[in-house]
Amino acid sequence: MAEPKRLLFNAFSMNCVSHIHHGLWGRAETRQLDYTSLDAWTELAQILEAGCFDALFLADVVGVYDNYKGGPETSIREAMQIPVNDPTLLIPAMAQVTEHLGFAFTGSILADHPFNFARRVSTLDHLTRGRVAWNIVTSYLPSAARNLGYADLPRHDDRYDRGDDYLDVLYKLWEASWEDDAVVADAERGIYAEPSKVHAIDHHGPYYQVPGPHLCEPSPQRTPVLFQAGSSDRGREFAARHAECMFVAGSSRAVGRIRADVHRRAIAYGRQPSDIKIFQGITPVVGGTEAEAKAKAEELRAEASVEGGLAHMSGNIGADLGTIDPERPIADVDFNRVTGIIKNLAETAPDRAWTFGDLARRQMTGQFLVGSPEQVADRLEKLAEAGADGFNLIYTSTPGTFVDFIDVVVPILCQRGLMQRDYRPGTLREKLFGHPRLSERHPGSAVRQR
């Protein structure tokens, strides 16, 4: 009998008050109001490492959701991803109190020049001893683009074209600029690094002109573990070339189709399906019994903010759900935002005419996984059989959602061989893939000094 597949688990959070399940930040058992306190984050990191989670995945946006009912008022009132602080500044503090937990952060290609971004990530990889991952996003909020100096949000596919050039710069800086033995730290000769082994990159691309060299010596991973979360057609192509892990929100059917499509595309780049791990987003709602879990879920649904959910979804899809008839078919509207959301929804039931009302309802409860500990473990096992390699766990309270999962579901998963009981040695990439640097099959490795 084949051994069960070891599943991967990330806690999904954000350096803000209200991340995904809006309207719940005032509950007594959550620490969402403590998001500006390092204590809350270091405590969470220690909880996750004790529970053998693979990583803490930090979402981010660099704009405000301001198109619902024509303005940002709902988002501001609901604390719907505003205020939001920089996720990267949390990572060194959390790394200091942990030894193995990985830290994935979201960063937009529009928000920072690749030369400067490369230095920030190398610094984080040094400080964490190789435990950093980057979730690559191309941004979807027009307010972000305007505040970053763009006249308007570039078209969806154009943003991915810019992303390809951005990554080409980063690969050259991270993988090629410094040779492995460039640093000699020879105090007797007064030579820290051999100049002949530190190279300019002379990148001339359609969007970026970067001479180099990289400002940082090689970090443990050089290139961080690469996540990507776009599941549109162009997003899948981007993932097939660049991603090592892909975050997908949707039904098991949608996840299975995206997985198969991305793996097929990856082969065209000389990669193997095992080079890309698929993470599905779920919200565990666990009770001592099924009835207790269902009662908890109903209470959460009753307290959730519909307005917050509608404002969130409006920003995602680029349509003001405050003015659109909920029964209007989504097929009637052309989108320039997170087009994968629309595709994923359609794939859950291809023969159904989905409406904007369906979108709103799915935003509020679509990711709930409700049941007793055994039922939740059973469901995760089935989702894995359908195509998920791992899961991003979305909280309704923090750290409570993660504590409940660790206390009662993790032991069952460990008993079944589906979750690690302790950590492998090495960097985050070694823990996930068994090798410390980008695979030789990854297109980014082609720039290395041979």
Which sequence spans correspond to the domains of the chain?
A: 8-64+76-287+388-447
C-alpha dihedral sign at 337, 334, 79, 362: negative
Tell me the pLDDT of the chain averaged across its residues: 92
390 pLDDT higher than 70: yes
Return the H-helix or E-strand segment holding 56: strand 55-59
Annotate 172-229 with DSSP letters as a single string: IIIIISB-TT-EEEETTTTEEE-GGGB----EE-SS-EE----SSPPPSSSSPEEEE-
Highest mean pLDDT among 109-123, 239-253, 293-307, 361-375: 109-123
Tell me the pLDDT tens digit for each residue of 36-56: 999 999 999 999 999 999 999
pLDDT of 321 reads 84
Tell me the pLDDT tens digit for each residue of 261-278: 999 999 999 999 999 999
Burial class (CB within 10 angstroms; exposed 0-12, middle 13-18, buried 19+) of 300:
buried
Judge whether 195 and 189 are in contact, CB under 8 Å.
no
Q: Encoding tokens for residue 117? A: 């971004």
Query: Rounded to the nearest 5°, which phi and psi values hold at 261?
Result: -70, -45
pLDDT, mean of residues 22-32: 96
Q: Which of 94, 89, 86, 82 is nearest to 40 (CA)?
A: 94
Least confidently predicted of 250-254, 304-308, 434-438 = 250-254
Residue type, 395: Y
Which of helix, strand or coil describes residue 258? Answer: helix
**Cα–Cα distance between 241 and 265 in angstroms, integer?**
8
pLDDT of 307 reads 86
pLDDT of 194 reads 98
CA count, 13 A, side-chain hemisphere, 46: 9
The fold adopted by the segment(s) 8-64+76-287+388-447 is: TIM Barrel (3.20.20)
Judge whether 394 and 367 are in contact, CB under 8 Å.
yes
**Cα–Cα distance between 194 and 177 in angstroms, integer?**
12
DSSP assigned state of 398: T
Tell me the pLDDT tens digit for each residue of 301-326: 889 888 898 899 888 888 888 887 76
